[in-house]
Amino acid sequence: MRAITVRDRDADVGGLTLTDMPYPHAAENDVIVRVHAAGFTPGELDWPATWTDRAGRDRTPTIPGHELSGVVVELGYGTTGLTVGQRVFGLTDWARNGSLAEYTAVEARNLAPSRPTSTTPWPPRCPFPD
């Protein structure tokens, strides 16, 4: 899976690189979302949770970005309220990898169903370069 990652806290946005990363794991009550649109602010690179998890462990390389819309492609154990194939939007957890990736794991409670009509197309995706 391709993602935009950062490894060096002092590099600012110049340190963002396209990287091959492992496909995310859907933990209990998580969903995997195929990301169609994502948001990012350079200020995220100053947030402590960008660089460490809740236990204080280093989590570089890290995937920034927290706002997203996309399609649910996988449900974690015990996940309710969403279905595979459903369009969603929401926020990723600050202490986990973010939305600047082809796929991301998100707690289901942080997502809401998107309600487009059958004629509402997705906005054009910004494809990752080959």
pTM above 0.85, yes or no: yes
What 3-state DSSP class applies to 52?
Answer: strand
Tens-digit pLDDT profile for residues 69-122: 999 999 999 999 999 999 999 999 988 999 999 999 999 999 999 876 555 666
Q: Which amino acid is at 129?
A: P
* Pairs from 126-129 (Cβ < 8 Å, separation ≥ 24): 128/2, 128/18, 128/102, 129/18
Residue 49 · residue 82 · CB < 8 Å? no
User: What secondary structure letter does DSSP report for 99?
Assistant: S
